[in-house]
Chain A
């Protein structure tokens, strides 16, 4: 075994790595040494342990980063799974296309987007990323390559979407892009003063706008925040997002820069600045969808201990209780979040057996690691489970096997499609060795 510098985005280090295999060409044969479990790895942006495989091997997919075909008339794009969303955006925006679903960073691979069945600000209108995958080619450890879609091998297809890389290696994917009238987003900003205000505002705005999200200040008692709704319009902003961040945090500072007093100051300043920006403004793709991508390695600002991303979803019926309850616990423990995002999900048929979104409210918080955090996370774990909600595997590193089982009714069916040679740290934590 070798020591490794493979870490999760939140700073969890994989200490023991059996081996790394780096495929370079997709038609080459992939030989995985026996005697250990494997896991494909994309760009390492998962916060928790779903892209780590402690004691096992990693398949680094970033060299399989070729485009295969792009039809600028129909918007169908076929790519190798190591291609980044940033590279796709760079290619297709000048032709009048965009990703139908995008998360808050474009520096993830297509494989990662599918394996986590990522969602964006437009879930209520466009669903998850997996809903836009038309086909994928999956390599299995018995040496076969399986072609999967809703028509051909639909069960394996639905197991692989949101399947956390555990069903095999995605080699290629064909996705349907969506047309945009121009790279301009018309953004409507409104402030709200409480969680109930947010829910009322959201129930109206989501009918009127394709993209909605809210940021809120969880340090104050009544959860004030900023609601941002947007739509693509035929406007004058024409920038195409850059391929690389403008500047980067070069190294990890010895302590976290993003906690305590700085947090309170930032939140207050941001809220008041947003209040001044209430109204309508036209903006570009980069600032609207990917504000954090402008700073490379921003996760380093949390210092060597890293941070925890807490994200869960609960049904609407339970949201008024669970969300203020969790936020209240965090406040009482003196833990705040720099970036607290809340969004509502619409009612959609799940694209994957293990997909995270469900109709209801999702809350996502960055929390610096501190001793006071563990009991709050344990409480959140129970509260979410009892509310029939669940946690997001792409972010998770703290939830319990009970919550996992209760939250994902597709789990038993999913297990039947897992590749026996594949595993991950998350899977071991939430399932033990049972397959």
Chain B
């Protein structure tokens, strides 16, 4: 299985890659820091994976995407599985942070996936795009509503893309992965409670999705990890606005 990972230093992505390495997957890794990519590559290769190439670049700038994708094609080829795992949780809704939050979490992954989609379609074989959104994208709420908006943007895009691929009968599967509260470097400052999952657990769930897809299973368009968030968000989504506005969250 050929896997391209965008945001390879994400804790969830690292956990998913470890699982794929055990099945001897081939990787192309992208993150901002080269030394970190080298450490991850050595780990994956010891576990049985093959890292065909990596590049240290900032994915938040769409101007970088074309060069990154051409390098990916040269070193790995066109992947079977794409994992878009990079994101940022802004500390506040300060005006200076908003544009970057939307850029990193929303507009840049959209542009990346659009560019990838064309390459995958050109191969005329099945492909899988896993993009990590969040339960936060399901409904705007008082805390971190700019982050919610950006993740919502990504989820809405994935929904439309999924619809488009289905209409065209394209062999491209699009999955919107929505983790719940996850203990990771992004959330290091938050107190953790019983609903919190580890990044390793979420990464394992992401790896399972691709493994099942490769074995021929059909995947849901939206996947909540852990699974019980599906029911929590179903309820949250249906709370009428005049009630929701009064709930502290």
Contact A24 B185 (CB under 8 A): yes
Closest to A27 in B: B35
Residues of A within 8 A of B39 (CB): 25-27, 66, 68
Closest CB in chain B relative to A84 CB, distance in Å? 13
Stretch at the interface among B41-49, B64-72, B122-130, B219-227: B41-49
Closest CB in chain A relative to B130 CB, distance in Å? 23
A154 to B185, CA, bound (A): 37
Contact A68 B35 (CB under 8 A): no
A68 to B43, CA, bound (A): 5
Chain B stretch 7-61: residues in CB contact (< 8 A) with chain A:
9, 33, 35-36, 38-40, 42-43, 46-47
Closest to A77 in B: B46
Contact B36 A66 (CB under 8 A): no
What's the interface size class on B, roughly? 10 to 19
A68 to B40, CA, bound (A): 9
A24 to B42, CA, bound (A): 15
Closest to B47 in A: A67
Contact B47 A69 (CB under 8 A): no
Chain A stretch 65-96: residues in CB contact (< 8 A) with chain B:
66-70, 91
Contact B46 A91 (CB under 8 A): yes
Contact A68 B42 (CB under 8 A): yes
A68 to B46, CA, bound (A): 7
A299 to B43, CA, bound (A): 32
Closest CB in chain B relative to A91 CB, distance in Å? 7
Contact B35 A70 (CB under 8 A): no
Contact A66 B185 (CB under 8 A): no
Most buried by B among A28, A66, A91: A66
Mark contacts of B222-244 with chain A using CB atoms, 8 A cut-off: 1 yes-contact digit, 0 otherwise.
00000000000000000000000
Interchain CB contact (< 8 A) of B43 among A22, A24, A28, A67 = A67
Residues of A within 8 A of B47 (CB): 67, 91
Mark contacts of A26-48 with chain B using CB atoms, 8 A cut-off: 1 yes-contact digit, 0 otherwise.
11100000000000000000000
Closest to B185 in A: A24
Mark contacts of B175-214 with chain A using CB atoms, 8 A cut-off: 1 yes-contact digit, 0 otherwise.
0000000000100100000000000000000000000000
Contacts A27-B35, A27-B36, A91-B47 given; does A69 touch B185 at CB 8 Å: no
Contact B35 A67 (CB under 8 A): no
A-B contact count (CB 8 A): 31
Contact A69 B42 (CB under 8 A): yes
Most buried by A among B38, B39, B47, B185: B39
A405 to B199, CA, bound (A): 44
Closest CB in chain A relative to B51 CB, distance in Å? 13
A61 to B42, CA, bound (A): 18
Contact B35 A66 (CB under 8 A): no
Residues of A within 8 A of B46 (CB): 67-70, 91
A91 to B18, CA, bound (A): 12
Closest CB in chain A relative to B27 CB, distance in Å? 15
Closest CB in chain A relative to B16 CB, distance in Å? 15
Mark contacts of A252-288 with chain B using CB atoms, 8 A cut-off: 1 yes-contact digit, 0 otherwise.
0000000000000000000000000000000000000
Contact B43 A25 (CB under 8 A): no
A208 to B185, CA, bound (A): 52
Closest CB in chain B relative to A17 CB, distance in Å? 15
Closest CB in chain B relative to A71 CB, distance in Å? 10
Residues of B within 8 A of A27 (CB): 35-36, 38-39
Residues of A within 8 A of B9 (CB): 25
Residues of A within 8 A of B33 (CB): 25
Residues of A within 8 A of B38 (CB): 27
Closest CB in chain A relative to B145 CB, distance in Å? 28
Contact A67 B36 (CB under 8 A): no
Contact B42 A67 (CB under 8 A): yes
A44 to B139, CA, bound (A): 40
A114 to B43, CA, bound (A): 21
Closest CB in chain A relative to B10 CB, distance in Å? 11
A272 to B164, CA, bound (A): 70
A22 to B185, CA, bound (A): 9
A25 to B33, CA, bound (A): 11
Residues of A within 8 A of B36 (CB): 25, 27-28
Residues of B within 8 A of A68 (CB): 39, 42-43, 46
A69 to B47, CA, bound (A): 9
Closest CB in chain B relative to A354 CB, distance in Å? 31
A67 to B42, CA, bound (A): 7
Most buried by B among A67, A68, A91: A67
A224 to B102, CA, bound (A): 71
Mark contacts of B64-106 with chain A using CB atoms, 8 A cut-off: 1 yes-contact digit, 0 otherwise.
0000000000000000000000000000000000000000000
Kindly list 8 other residue pairs between chains A and B, CB separation below 8 angstroms, not including A67-B42, A68-B43.
Answer: A27-B35, A27-B36, A27-B39, A28-B35, A66-B39, A68-B42, A68-B46, A70-B46
| 5 pairs of A and B residues whose beta carbons are closest in the complex | A67-B46, A66-B43, A27-B35, A25-B36, A70-B46
What would be 16 A-B contacts, judged by CB atoms less than 8 Å apart?
A24-B185, A25-B33, A25-B35, A27-B35, A27-B36, A27-B38, A27-B39, A28-B36, A66-B39, A66-B40, A66-B42, A67-B47, A68-B43, A69-B46, A70-B46, A91-B46
